[in-house]
Amino acid sequence: MKQIKTALISVYNKEGLLPILEQLQRLNINIVSTGGTYNYIIEMGFEATPVESLTSYPSIFAGRVKTLHPAVFGGILNRRYDQKDQEDKINFNISDIDMVIVDLYPFSDTLAAGKSHSDIIEKIDIGGISLIRAAAKNYEDVMVVPSKNQYSYLLDILLKKNGFTEIEERKLLASQAFHISSTYDREIFNYLSAGNNESLKNSYGGAAKLRYGENPHQTAMFYGELEEAIFQHHGKQVSYNNLLDIDAALRLINDFDKSTFAIFKHLNPCGIAQRNNVFDAWKDALASDPVSAFGGVLVTNEIIDKTVAAEIDKIFFEVILAPGYHAEALEILKTKKNRIILQINNSELPVEEIRTNLFGLLVQDRDIKLENNSDFNFITETKPSEAHIEDLIFANKVVKHLKSNAIALAKNKQLIGAGNGQTSRVDALKQAIAKALNYGFDLKGSALASDAFFPFADSVELAYEAGISAIIQPGGSVRDQDSIDFCNKNQIPMIFTGYRHFKH
């Protein structure tokens, strides 16, 4: 155990400090303090030594330099067990500091308050952050209290152990100190490097400023080499939202190996069809939901010729992606100056997905699983026909790319109804059915895919009433048998895949 004999206190926010001062006085712990903290301690009726008494220097440069001195940092960093350190301590008249209490300048609060650049810069703490790091480094001998959030922990130690500390306690506070230090530095880095994030440049390659973010009041950047995935033939600069849809479109089209055309809107496929040729695939993809196609992002895995381009040119869309274009097709598509025409260079996107979350990152493997017959568990007495299986596989590919909760309805390898982003699976199914009926599709003979299991039998009951003829889902609900029993009773083939495809 180590006894606290001298404590250095340098805090911006004085809230919560009073009970600590009372305990330090009770335990006869010497207090060394700085500037405003020193004045507060004296005003509260406690004794303290100004840091100038150790350094023989006043606070200079309008308070920018107060504690940055060997007398202070030597008192914190000297190793009590090291003979040479102890000789230096005697030679330079340095006294031990056993505890450091710091609460940093409120950089992030100043930034959030919209203060001027000069005000924000002045709230970059130098002495405080140095004290925290020094005390945390020497945690074997020194207790660090790196913010007011640790005051209650310190008070508990002072009350119960009367100024003695265990190595485990000091190490715990040291780890928290370095977390506070790294977070503080990252906030400063993010502010100073806004729009010029060198770490992201180094990780992903080039950097391009976008027109704006998800909304016009948001700024945005793209870090990486866009040309690795796409080449732009024509049109205005791609936007933040365009890039999100482009990424989603490439992920989907990569799952299909025959002539397929898809239309994306707000990260969801609203139309998709697979046919023997790209012309028919386009017509039937558009027929899936011609209203939502307005202003959408189009993607195909086939080269666009003049005939297809002439059909596509009849509607308003923002972006088109294809592996290639005939010269005559490009001439037709380029008649709208802002229309973004992209050629797919590589649809094989990275196998890892990264997104920001809280004060860190979430990283996961990309969902590349494609179920086939070897994964299927034909769970019901009635088995699906070959035609049903083809539509079930098609629908299951599509539902993987819809936001959860998601339902995809397919017939003859065409999306005829989609429900996505709903908070209940029944609502997703109702939405999909309503979409299909709204555009005149006959649900008899259609196939249904769900991105996750049905928790109750209500979804299969609704599907049966609508005329849906076959179902594919992951299975895994504690009430799976209810759905199986209903399907058996009504001769609906249902397949379990064992794989969920949530997309949040």
Domain boundaries, the chain: 2-192, 225-344, 373-496
337, 343, 344, 345 alpha-carbon torsion, rounded to 10°: -130
- Residue 163's nearest CA partner among 20, 11, 33, 48 is 20
Residue 223: the pLDDT is: 83
Upstream peptide bond of 202 is cis (omega within 30 degrees of 0): no
Is residue 360 over pLDDT 70?
yes
Residue 464: the pLDDT is: 97
Mean pLDDT, rounded, of the chain:
93
Give SS3 for 473: strand
Residue 64: the pLDDT is: 85
233 catalytic, yes or no? no
Residue 373: the pLDDT is: 87
Question: CB 182: neighbour CB atoms within 10 A?
Answer: 11
Q: What value does the mean pLDDT take over residues 479-489?
A: 96
Is residue 84 over pLDDT 60?
yes
Residue 351: the pLDDT is: 83
Is residue 99 over pLDDT 90?
yes
Is residue 296 over pLDDT 60?
yes
Fold for 2-192, please state it: Rossmann fold (3.40.50)
Residue 65: band (very low, low, confident or very high) from pLDDT cuts 50, 70, 90: confident
Burial 417-428 (b: 16+ CB within 10 A, else e): bbbbbbeebbeb
Residue 196: the pLDDT is: 56
Catalytic annotation, pick one of 161, 233, 266, 336: 266
Question: CB 454: neighbour CB atoms within 10 A?
Answer: 26
Residue 431 φ/ψ, nearest 5 degrees? -65, -45
- For domain 373-496, the CATH class is alpha beta
283 catalytic, yes or no? no
Q: List pLDDT tens digits, range 110-140.
A: 988 888 999 999 999 999 999 999 999 999 9
Catalytic annotation, pick one of 5, 115, 137, 336: 137
Q: Which residues pair with 164 in a beta bridge?
A: 3
Fold for 225-344, please state it: Cytidine Deaminase; domain 2 (3.40.140)
Residue 221: the pLDDT is: 86
> How far is the C-alpha of 163 from the C-alpha of 312, rounded, in Å?
78
Residue 401: the pLDDT is: 96
Is residue 403 over pLDDT 70?
yes
Is residue 222 over pLDDT 80?
yes
Residue 88: the pLDDT is: 84
Is residue 95 over pLDDT 60?
yes
Please calculate the CA angle 102-108-109 and round it to the nearest 5 degrees. 90
CB 59 within 8 A of CB 66: yes
Please calculate the CA angle 482-484-486 and round it to the nearest 5 degrees. 70
Is residue 10 over pLDDT 70?
yes
Residue 347: band (very low, low, confident or very high) from pLDDT cuts 50, 70, 90: confident
Alpha carbon separation from 223 to 129, 232, 352 (Å, rounded): 31, 17, 16
Q: What percent of the chain has pLDDT over 70?
A: 97
> How far is the C-alpha of 424 from the C-alpha of 449, rounded, in Å?
15
Min mean pLDDT across 80-94, 129-143, 171-185, 270-284 is at: 80-94
Intrachain domains 2-192 and 373-496 with the same fold: no
Is residue 201 over pLDDT 70?
no
Is residue 263 over pLDDT 90?
yes
